[in-house]
Chain A
């Protein structure tokens, strides 16, 4: 993607039918540090890599609790992510106030997607530069969705976004078939393995990553550093390598549910379809 005469405005189409500003927004997501999500029938886990600007500063928060049953991990422009998290929290509170019941995740991601779409069709706005992995629980079990700046959203068994996420995706593609029946702890272990893949040799410690869980009977919470370090020690000491399974790697990480109108991921299509 290089500069061209059709990329100044988000409201300008290119002759090939692409909105370059939206695609550039998706690039911003790829520049952010990695975030991964995976789910079983009863639990969903989010994990992300924390990158601090310098040794002197603290790292940015990339995982936010939205409600007891929903949490979100972001990659890209963290400020945009913070604003969208606030919107999501507000929507959950208002829904809970009116209906005295938790906002179904599927409904929330549609509202989020519609909000993102608005920014792709107004000349005075710009798309949100953040990708969101929304993990949540509703009556039908645990769900993981990915919302991108284009306004599209997909449901996933497991997904990774941000820089060097392809390494994590490859790991998840190998293992995703076992996720639906995974236990909570195995799911967290897989999340940590996937994070380790994105670190490309850097040592995995609890100061570099953040992990959060939500599940049946367990409200969304971010695990504290000590717990995460203990889990890391558990599998590093046992000398476990990221286990390979016999399943063939498929295109696009995990299965994308078609019931909400999400298109199946294909490498050849314009990036916003992924």
Chain B
């Protein structure tokens, strides 16, 4: 007797790519704006980035219905935190909350591949990268989503410290300037767009620094 398999799946993959890079005093969070299903495009104009707190932005690719639900849950939790503590959540605190929230649904996961970017309590850029069930790590840069396999090796080449054996241990944040980092991100997306069919249309870039938040948008190939 073979087990009957479901003729539908609760998940769908809406594609897209997310990238974040941490700098000494800034953070860049970027995501393309294409939303797909199968081989079709649902819209060319969908934001995958959500502001969770003054200094925490989350970019998520995967199943956007789950992403939306996850964003709502985290926003509500942040409101509760503000009522209780009379201040905004720090980025590392939000990082832990996101991890816990994801693991909470360990046995029916949020199909969301997240990258959390922001400024830590010292004002330094921080990026946290996640898997679907909440395993996370603070890194200097990260890419998630359909174009991640194309972008990550390129970022490794440009940003990775020469060797983990080198002492003293180098800081995770990149020595690049803010403008250079934004330019690098645009290059990443332009390249990923060339070969990944799920990435394109335009890229939404958020730059977070001591002066506040900045938005940039760059058109990408639409094919």
Which A residues fall within an 8 A CB radius of B? 65, 86, 89-90, 93-94, 96-97
13 sampled A-B residue pairs with Cβ under 8 A:
A65-B83, A86-B83, A89-B79, A89-B80, A89-B83, A90-B80, A93-B76, A93-B79, A93-B80, A94-B76, A96-B76, A97-B72, A97-B76
Q: What is the CA–CA distance of A74 and B80 in the complex, to the nearest angstrom?
A: 20
Across-interface contacts of B79 in A (CB, < 8 A): 89, 93
- Mask, B128-157, CB within 8 Å of A = 1, is 000000000000000000000000000000
> For the side of the interface on B, what is the size category?
under 10
Q: What is the CA–CA distance of A164 and B72 in the complex, to the nearest angstrom?
A: 45
- B31 CB to nearest chain A CB (Å): 21
Q: What is the CA–CA distance of A89 and B72 in the complex, to the nearest angstrom?
A: 16
Which residues of chain B (31-83) have a CB below 8 Å from chain A? 72, 76, 79-80, 83
- B47 CB to nearest chain A CB (Å): 15
Q: Give A89's nearest chain B residue, CB to CB.
A: B83
Interface SS majority for chain B: helix
Q: Give B80's nearest chain A residue, CB to CB.
A: A93
Across-interface contacts of B80 in A (CB, < 8 A): 89-90, 93
- B65 CB to nearest chain A CB (Å): 15
Q: What is the CA–CA distance of A21 and B76 in the complex, to the nearest angstrom?
A: 37
Q: What is the CA–CA distance of A93 and B76 in the complex, to the nearest angstrom?
A: 6
Across-interface contacts of A86 in B (CB, < 8 A): 83
Which residues of chain B (70-101) have a CB below 8 Å from chain A? 72, 76, 79-80, 83
Q: What is the CA–CA distance of A89 and B83 in the complex, to the nearest angstrom?
A: 8
Q: Give B75's nearest chain A residue, CB to CB.
A: A97
Q: What is the CA–CA distance of A93 and B79 in the complex, to the nearest angstrom?
A: 8
The CB with the most chain A CB atoms within 10 A, among B72, B80, B83, is that of B83
Which B residues fall within an 8 A CB radius of A? 72, 76, 79-80, 83
- A264 CB to nearest chain B CB (Å): 35
The CB with the most chain A CB atoms within 10 A, among B72, B76, B79, B80, is that of B79
- B84 CB to nearest chain A CB (Å): 9
Across-interface contacts of A90 in B (CB, < 8 A): 80
Q: Give B77's nearest chain A residue, CB to CB.
A: A93
Across-interface contacts of A97 in B (CB, < 8 A): 72, 76
Across-interface contacts of A94 in B (CB, < 8 A): 76
Known: A89-B80, A96-B76, A97-B76. 10 other contacts (CB 8 A): A65-B83, A86-B83, A89-B79, A89-B83, A90-B80, A93-B76, A93-B79, A93-B80, A94-B76, A97-B72
Across-interface contacts of B72 in A (CB, < 8 A): 97
Across-interface contacts of B76 in A (CB, < 8 A): 93-94, 96-97
Q: What is the CA–CA distance of A96 and B76 in the complex, to the nearest angstrom?
A: 9
Q: Give A68's nearest chain B residue, CB to CB.
A: B79
* Nearest 3 pairs of A and B residues by beta carbon: A93-B76, A89-B83, A97-B76
Q: Give B78's nearest chain A residue, CB to CB.
A: A93
Q: Give A85's nearest chain B residue, CB to CB.
A: B83
Q: What is the CA–CA distance of A96 and B79 in the complex, to the nearest angstrom?
A: 11
- A134 CB to nearest chain B CB (Å): 16
Q: What is the CA–CA distance of A274 and B80 in the complex, to the nearest angstrom?
A: 34
Q: What is the CA–CA distance of A251 and B76 in the complex, to the nearest angstrom?
A: 43
Q: Give A67's nearest chain B residue, CB to CB.
A: B79
- A114 CB to nearest chain B CB (Å): 22
Q: Give B84's nearest chain A residue, CB to CB.
A: A86
Q: What is the CA–CA distance of A90 and B83 in the complex, to the nearest angstrom?
A: 10
Q: Give B73's nearest chain A residue, CB to CB.
A: A97
